[in-house]
Structure 1
Amino acid sequence: MNAITQNPAPLFTATDTTYRFARWGRPLAPVVFGVGDESLPHLKDAIAQAVAITGGVLAETDPELGANFMWFFCREWSDLAAVPNLDKLLPNFERIIAALTEQGASRYRSFGFDRDGSIKLCVVLIRVDAATEALSLQTLGTSETFQSLLTWSEGAFAETSPIAMIKSNNICIVKPEFAAIVRAAYDPLLPAATEDPSHALRLSARASKLVQDIEDGA
């Protein structure tokens, strides 16, 4: 049994040892700011393919928010100050931008939640530095979307990346064990949000079976 599917609890356990899990409770409706028109279809294709891991598809709009999966690209973090209403989407916006600038960070993600604890909004900020420019849109879209599908812990991928690159065609994929965790997490019989650590056991059972079924069919 794969170690990831055998014990998924660390993927959702915060540094204070609290287990925190949430998945989206509504279809993702993406909108992207700061990229050229020629790049947009390729990025959205990658987003759609990553979302398909959940068993769902993208929506054109969210009935309440219009767009609920919002991407903002910039060259410098300070550039985002000119984006209308972004400070309303991100509490403590100025403090966040100052911290990202000080850290030299290139990515930031913020979630909003419905009353039942499920994800209803995700804002992704990306500073286009040399490392980001070196990535294909397919890689960037797959990686960032995957990390936005669930509320992973800060150290979830510290030891093992959930992403792999197929060398023959330079296509980025989500590793099967991590894809199985996501697919299992979206089982309608499981809660959309929980802080009960026993949830990890239910995830493990479902994800392990998914991986086994794939291996048996190979």
Structure 2
Amino acid sequence: MTQTDSTTPEDIAALFTRSDGSFFCARWGRPIAPIVFGVEDASLRVVKGAFEAVCALAGHDMAETDFELGSNFMVFFFRNWSELSDVPNLDRLIDGLGELVERLSAAEANQYRVFRFDESGAIRACFVFLRMDAALSDVPAEELALGQVAQSMLCWSDTAFSERSPLARAGATTVLRPDIAGVIRAAYDPVLPAVSQDPSHALRLFARLGAQAPDA
């Protein structure tokens, strides 16, 4: 299992235990049909590559379109939060968009993520907003794309990556941390439920992590 050997059930539980103490782990319940706004073709290929890589890791399907929404994973790159107010029909997809834009602008936030869930609690849609301020503009495109896709493959805790990035360096290449890659792969094991609010789910993820092939 390479570097995932030191991962404990408590480590996994912390990744899905929110700041209010509640546990929630959910994966996508349908193929991911992404669309990206606000980037040039070269960057678009990078983002698409990140989707393909993480979905391959998870063993999860991608699709050209979603049967319900058309595109169920939307990524927006922009310079100012106010630009979101000009996106046609976005207010129909994001409840309280105007208030959200005001709040994020006042906080000078540079990223925000919104999930939507189906009746079972599995992820049915995700909206990622990236305000390209000086800090994000300095992040290499490959690193930014991989990090955002990884953080959107599961409904992680709001504090999961507050102190440590999900990414690591392998020589000159940016990759997912082995423990995070292992948890993503384990969470998409079809024997596990798509959603759980029971902290004991971390033990099941840990068991699947231990069952992964050493060279996975």
The normalised TM-score by structure 1 is 0.91
Displacement after TM superposition at 1:51 (Å)? 2.0
Paired letter, 2:92: K
Displacement after TM superposition at 1:57 (Å)? 3.5
Paired letter, 2:184: V
Corresponding residue of 2:63: 59
Pick from 165, 174, 178 the counterpart of residue 176 of structure 1: 178
Paired letter, 1:134: D
- The 5 Å alignment of 1:140-179 reads 140-168=144-172, 171-179=173-181
* Range with bigger deviation, 135-144 or 33-42: 33-42
Corresponding residue of 1:129: 133
Paired letter, 2:129: L
Structure 2: unaligned runs, 5 residues or longer: none
Displacement after TM superposition at 1:191 (Å)? 0.7
Does the 8 A contact of 1:50 with 1:145 survive in 2?
Answer: yes
Distance 1:96 1:103 in 2: 11
Pick from 29, 32, 35 the counterpart of residue 28 of structure 1: 32
C-alpha RMSD of matched pairs (Å): 1.6
* CA distance 1:7–1:39, change in 2 (3 Å): closer
Secondary structure, counterpart of 1:191 in structure 2: coil
Corresponding residue of 2:198: 196
* Range with bigger deviation, 177-186 or 13-22: 13-22
1:118 maps onto 2:135 in alignment: no
Displacement after TM superposition at 1:77 (Å)? 0.4
Distance 2:150 2:162 in 1: 15
Pick from 185, 206, 209 the counterpart of residue 208 of structure 2: 206
Distance 2:146 2:9 in 1: 20
Structure 1: unaligned runs, 5 residues or longer: none
Runs of 4+ in structure 1 deviating by more than 2 angstroms, as ranges, are 3-7, 158-161, 165-168
CA shift digits 1:149-201 (9 cap, x unpaired):
01101111233322012343xx2210111111011001111111111111111
Does the 8 A contact of 2:28 with 2:194 survive in 1?
Answer: yes
* CA distance 1:96–1:122, change in 2 (3 Å): same
Aligned length: 212
Does the 8 A contact of 2:9 with 2:203 survive in 1?
Answer: no
The normalised TM-score by structure 2 is 0.92
Does the 8 A contact of 1:180 with 1:208 survive in 2?
Answer: no
* CA distance 1:177–1:162, change in 2 (3 Å): same
